[in-house]
Structure 1
Amino acid sequence: MAESKKELVLNAMDKKPVPRVPSGFWFHFLDDALHADAFAEPKLNARVLESELRYIDGFRPDFVKIMTDGFFAYRSPAVRKARTAAELARVRPLAEDDPWFERQIAYAKEITKRHGDEVATFYNLFCAGTTLKFMYPGALTEAEDFLLGLIHEDKEAVKAAFAVISADLATLARRLVKEAGVTGIYFSLQNHRGFGHDRSVYDEVFAPGEKEILRAANEASDYNILHICGYEGHHNKIDWYADYDVKTINWAVGVEGVPLEEGRKVFGGRAALGGFGNLPSDVLYSGSRAEVEAETRRILEKAGRTGILLGADCTVPNDIDWQRLDWVRAAAAEA
């Protein structure tokens, strides 16, 4: 009996032999995904759900990263209004029945009840630091300066706030698996830049909450993905995450200059997701069919076929022709 797409992906994550290397790509469904608020505008959630299901039904991907456009922000007035570390530290845990939990679980369940048996589904979650940056009204670079300014102002206050937010994110991760039926989470984080740009600050302030979220996810599922985000050219030292307990890792091979075969050495040979650049200038978006197929073969010749899931550095442009994604899948099946 042939493997289902879900079995194919889980076996790849387990580094078992697979008849073909699976692939998966994703894109935003809202024009301003960073600042969209589905709690203030419920119609946005309906639009994202409809678009996600249209993509799954139309393209039949090997696996699904459940996009969370409209749900990026943490539902806390204290966090949204905070402009000092002391104000940020006033955050309190959300109630168990808060809409921030319930709406996201309901959204994920709409996808898994239709497709959860046939394809693996990974719900997108951001770490506390990234969540706070998305809640800042300015550009991401300004948001990062703001967050690092808070750490400089009162590191202990920021650590206390991160602990509260991370605990709620950990609860959400666990409930998404147990109640919504997702396969696992796709957990996005990145190094900080600017003040305190060293590992000791990261390990003290950022890492504890991130590891707590992964512990909760791993308690609920063996199949979770870590995304070391290179969005807009954000450079990361991927070795900072070598001790993070997660089945599969996705990093920006283009931004970091670390191909799959080299990055896997950093992570002890664990499964890897990626290989393709995600920019309009990259071959996946702009190359000919022959070039996309050749790049697929090149990646697999270097990285091998075991413990590999083909994908991109991050989200691909939302106007990409889905046929291009199928070129990758077909070429991988023949490699």
Structure 2
Amino acid sequence: MTKKDRVIAAIKKEQVDSVPSGFSLHFPSQSAFGEKGVQAHLAFFKETDTDICKIMNEHLVPACGSFASAQDYRKIPTISGNASFIQDQIVFTQKIMEKADPNAFMLGTLHGVLASSIHPLEKSGMSYEQTRTFLVNALREDSRPVLDAMKRITDGMCELALQYRSAGMDGIYYAALGAEKRYFTDEEFAQWIAPFDYQILKAIKESGAYSFLHMCKDGLDLARYTGCLDMVDVVNWGVYEAPYSLEEGRSLFSGKTIMGGLPNRTGVLVDGSQKEIQDSVKAIIHKMGRTGFILGSDCTLATEQDLGRVRFAVEACRR
């Protein structure tokens, strides 16, 4: 099997010659864009030898001034497929694909509507936690201008999904936020976040790309995403952040391929020996089985991750 064949077989729950794997990390700012970013991706793919080549996305919804109230969300413009940050990401993706292993499974990163709705706030000078609180309060203060802006952002993310697929992506990794119980109630999530998430996931599915749903941060209520199962092929979440084990998640997302198994910032990938990593991977595969499972981590690895340890985990899948 090629790497791509192996991943697609896992998604379809068919027999595989070995369990496929996929890991990623945010590259240092000086090598996250342009030719340095291309080379950083290619070096990561070569050193880790993962079956999935995940292309990161640091081309975000741009700054549009300061934010002091819900009304300031009117500053976010309509986002078309010609938006510079979308085109920059597509060109970046194409350059990586030109030199990446043609037999690997190519996966493009697409930031969810909530993350994309706070990126302009981060660029205005707010901390991450401030942006999350501001968005919640703005929606509760005056939801109309905020929801209108989120719809414009959602339409732009749908355009990105279509262009990813046209560029040759096999799958799209949808990085969702919003399921944390400390921010939104179930009713608020269903009203304000879920419809936009579903619109983008539907666009990914209709593009013909495989859909990877990623949910991270702590205190998650994964059940908030069970309504979108018909639009999702692979599910990945922060097992070591959320109160859901791999087995519980497999039950919750019945019928879907599960990706994960290893913590991303602690444990064997951080300080384990080769044997410890091999033993951990062997135990995870024994627990999850060789069908409908992709080895990965909860979320992105640390930028300073020792890639040799990642390679040990990838090779352990093939033993």
- TM (norm. structure 2) is 0.92
Q: Does 2:195 correspond to 1:208? A: yes
Q: From 216, 224, 243, give the equivalent of 2:227.
A: 243
Counterpart of 1:128?
113
Distance between the aligned counterparts of 1:196 and 1:322, measured in 2? 35
Q: Name which of structure 1's ranges 263-272 and 84-93 shifts more when overlaid on structure 2.
A: 84-93
Contact persistence 1:23–1:310 (CA under 8 A) = yes
Deviation at 1:222, TM superposition (A): 4.1
Cα deviation, residue 89, structure 1:
3.0
Q: Is the 8 Å Cα contact of residues 181 and 219 (structure 2) preserved in structure 1?
A: no
Percent of counterpart pairs with the same letter? 26
Counterparts of 1:304 and 1:188, CA distance in 2: 25
User: Shift of residue 212 of structure 1?
Assistant: 0.8
CA distance in 2, matches of 1:194, 1:16: 35
CA distance, structure 2, for counterparts of residue 117 and residue 302 of structure 1: 31
Q: What is the aligned counterpart of 2:24 among 15, 23, 26?
A: 26
Counterpart in 2 of 1:41?
Answer: none
1:66 pairs, out of 48, 55, 59, with: 55
Equivalent residue runs for 1:128-167 within 5 Å = 128-135=113-120, 136=122, 137-167=125-155
Residues 207, 116 of structure 1: alpha-carbon distance in 2 compared, 3 angstrom cutoff: farther
1:12–1:277 Cα change, 3 Å: same
* Distance in 2 of aligned mates of 1:300 and 1:60: 19
| More moved, 192-201 vs 157-166 | 192-201
Map of 1:97 onto structure 2: 82
1:1-335 matched pairs, under 5 angstroms: 3-31=1-29, 44-69=33-58, 71=59, 73-75=60-62, 77=64, 80-115=65-100, 117-135=102-120, 136=122, 137-178=125-166, 180-191=167-178, 197-230=184-217, 234-244=218-228, 245-279=231-265, 281-334=266-319
Instruction: Please tell me whether the aligned partners of residues 179 and 224 of structure 2 are also in contact (alpha carbons under 8 angstroms).
Output: no
Amino acid at match of 2:197: E
1:194 CA drift (Å): 7.6
Q: 1:195 to 1:118 in 2, by over 3 A?
A: closer
Runs of 5+ unmatched residues, structure 1: 39-43
Note the C-alpha offset of 1:265: 0.9
Q: How much has 1:139 moved relative to structure 2?
A: 2.0
1: distance between equivalents of 2:268 and 2:47? 23
Question: Residue 59 of structure 1 aligns to which amino acid in structure 2?
Answer: T
Secondary structure of the residue aligned to 2:318 is: helix
Unaligned runs of 5+ in 2: none
Query: Could you list the per-position Cα deviations for residues 146-166 of structure 1 after superposition, in whole angstroms to 9, with x for gaps in the alignment?
Result: 111111111222211111100
**1:229, distance to aligned residue in structure 2 (A):** 1.4
Contact 1:149-1:195 at 8 Å conserved across structures: no
For 1:11, the aligned partner's letter is A
Report which stretch shifted further, 88-97 or 9-18: 88-97
- 1:141 and 1:272 mapped to 2: Cα distance? 29
